[in-house]
Structure 1
Amino acid sequence: MTERRVAPRLGEFLRARRARVRPEDHGMPAGTRRTPGLRREEVAMLAGISTDYYIRLEQGRDRHPSQQVVQALAEALLLEDEASAYLRGLAEPGPSQRSRRTRHQEYASPGLVSLMDAWPRTPALVYGRYMDLLAANTLGEALFSWLGEETNLLRAIFLMPPARAFYRDWARIGEGCVAALRAANIDPDDPRLVELVGELCVNSPEFARLWGRQEVRAKTAEIKRLTHPDVGELSLRFENLTVPSAPGQHLVVYHAEPGSREDQALALLGSYAATPASDSHASRRQDLAAEDGPAAEKGIR
């Protein structure tokens, strides 16, 4: 990210988040307003800076707000921790380490793949920084069989009709995934991110609207309500775990209460998938990684 690009991205974020804060949230009267959210002068007052300086930030005429100003703006805009961290990243002066990152394909480590394959009754998947599916064990592949050849979860959710049948809370799932994509990618000029976001904005009005909200939120544990074409409705516990050895990657695990209907349904789904001739996505992708080699940064996408 060059200095020239920092300020416009910062301004976009400030404008979008300002529009989402109600005057009542700060104990101020709403009055009559032409547009939703706080006025620029109100944000400036709450942050303890001049209105002119805040306007320069939104318009991209000031490039490097201090850490103190950034923190004051985060408080004025009622940003949570992840959104505050994202704002700090946008305000960093000069090229960041993230920007110097060369474009390459991610891969799941063989050790992690082997660990997932040892969980025959637990659907497990690994997603990368851009929500590309990097690996899945047998039950994880069976649970997400509707993906077919698609390897990117965001493209699947917003561009594939089966996603709306699979996720019973499709709107909430889509919103959370868009927020998680932004949380994992502070550098908005990353070539892979630009390509993916551009494709989705062109082809999905829902994605474009959500991306414009500038929501920043990592995925957390919750209950996912799904409808699988083979075993019907499922309510599964969802755990999203970071992979310390591979920043940006996440191990996603679904599980059911022992003895529950969902537990029996997963066992049935596993029996469908466990045929002698079928290997899991994880094993097939591990073979690809072994053939091409991590050093070549190939093998799994």
Structure 2
Amino acid sequence: MTTPPDRGDLAGLIRAWRDRLAPAAVGFPVGQRRTPGLRREEVALLAGLSVDYLVRLEQGRAERPSAQVVASLARVLQLSDPERDQLYAAAGLAAPSAGLVPTHIPGSVQRLLARLPDVAIGVYTATWTLLTANDAWSALLGPIDPGRNLVLLQFTRSGVRVLRGEADERRFECALVSDLRRAAIRYPDDPGVTGLVEELHRVSPVFASLWAEARIVEHRSEPKTFVHPVVGPITLDCDVFTAAGTDLRIVAYTAVPGSADASRFDLLRTVGAEQAPGWPGADLPACEPVDQAALPAHAQERIEG
């Protein structure tokens, strides 16, 4: 006979972990608070839940939460892997299998997003599926859309416009394909990986050709020039990191201090998201004419996620 999950335990876990999380760890001001932790309203906002539903969860009155809700709470509450598994168990759900591509974001990475507002940071899985990003990223690349896959965007030409040379473009694509092959080898039982590879073969002959070559190419630091509807062309340095102990990929865009691009980036972070509704939708009007002399030699419009 199966024992039903302990709703009181689930409620207690959520309350305890909410109370222990310092507001500064997620980018909120401390201010005057009755308790040192996060308010329900703040957790609900970050997790994409209604406050009423979070209250019912904390009072043990809600029905079994979905895996998506539990995953979102684990991310917002910055749980460790064992704590995340405990939250799933208390909700009556199986914890994510070790054979699947990891999607859990450690607290250290969450703090990185919150404490570096001057850097556009996006967090991806091993298959280059976006998990989360900060406000600076949203201003640069459009509204955060978890689940958007960079490899698919690249090979279907359906993302943000990036200006780069032909050789750099091919190297970038080879690195993406190399990453995806590595993930397919490491997580052979994940149907999401298999499905993504099959879809890319179906929609992109270029991907199929690069996949057949089986080249191993690593990402490298490089400048990227975006054409943004608010500030026009803006060149930022792009670096790709791997969080220690995980397969997560962290992409960071920074501007050279004191440069014209740094001024544009400051402006973009202030007004970009509000002044470019729908960005980066394909139906946006064309940008103002670009000063070709200010762009990299032989630059071409490309895609970025």
CA contact (8 A) 1:166 1:228 kept: no
Q: What code does the residue aligned with 2:199 have?
A: E
1:271 aligns with 2:267: no
Please, which of 136, 148, 159 is the counterpart of residue 139 of structure 1?
136
The equivalent residue for 2:248 is: 249
Deviation at 1:141, TM superposition (A): 1.8
The equivalent residue for 2:232 is: 232
Q: Give the 3 Å change call, closer, same or farther, for CA 117–240 of structure 1 in structure 2.
A: same
The equivalent residue for 2:156 is: 159
* SS of equivalent residue, structure 1 residue 215: coil
Q: What code does the residue aligned with 2:260 have?
A: R
Matches within 5 A, 1:19-30: none
Matches within 5 A, 1:1-301: 101-103=98-100, 106-145=103-142, 151-163=148-160, 165-169=161-165, 170-187=169-186, 189-191=188-190, 192-246=192-246, 248-273=247-272
TM-score, normalisation: structure 2: 0.51
Q: Point out where structure 2 has 5 or more consecutive residues left out of the alignment.
A: 1-96, 275-305
Identity of matched residues, %: 28
Q: Can you list the C-alpha shifts for 1:55-74, whole angstroms capped at 9, x where unaligned?
A: xxxxxxxxxxxxxxxxxxxx
Deviation at 1:236, TM superposition (A): 1.7
Deviation at 1:190, TM superposition (A): 4.1
Separation of aligned partners in 1, 2:171 and 2:218: 13
Q: Give the 3 Å change call, closer, same or farther, for CA 149–228 of structure 1 in structure 2.
A: farther
CA contact (8 A) 1:176 1:217 kept: yes
* SS of equivalent residue, structure 2 residue 164: coil
Separation of aligned partners in 1, 2:206 and 2:262: 33
CA contact (8 A) 1:125 1:252 kept: yes
Q: Can you list the C-alpha shifts for 1:220-273, whole angstroms capped at 9, x where unaligned?
A: 222223323332222221221111132x11221111110111111111110015
Q: What code does the residue aligned with 1:119 have?
A: L
Q: What code does the residue aligned with 2:204 have?
A: S
Q: What code does the residue aligned with 1:262 have?
A: D
TM-score, normalisation: structure 1: 0.51
* SS of equivalent residue, structure 1 residue 177: helix
CA contact (8 A) 2:183 2:193 kept: no
* SS of equivalent residue, structure 1 residue 230: coil
Separation of aligned partners in 2, 1:273 and 1:113: 23
Deviation at 1:111, TM superposition (A): 3.2
Number of aligned residue pairs: give it. Answer: 175
* SS of equivalent residue, structure 2 residue 100: coil
Separation of aligned partners in 2, 1:104 and 1:173: 22
Deviation at 1:122, TM superposition (A): 0.9
**Superposition RMSD in Å:** 2.8
Q: Give the 3 Å change call, closer, same or farther, for CA 107–201 of structure 1 in structure 2.
A: same
Q: Can you list the C-alpha shifts for 1:109-162, whole angstroms capped at 9, x where unaligned?
A: 233122212212111111111101112110112222177676111111122434
Separation of aligned partners in 2, 1:177 and 1:228: 24
CA contact (8 A) 1:182 1:216 kept: no
CA contact (8 A) 2:100 2:187 kept: no
Structure in which a larger fraction of residues adopt helix: 1
CA contact (8 A) 1:123 1:138 kept: yes
The equivalent residue for 1:282 is: none
Separation of aligned partners in 2, 1:103 and 1:180: 16
Q: Point out where structure 1 has 5 or more consecutive residues left out of the alignment.
A: 1-99, 276-301
Deviation at 1:178, TM superposition (A): 1.5
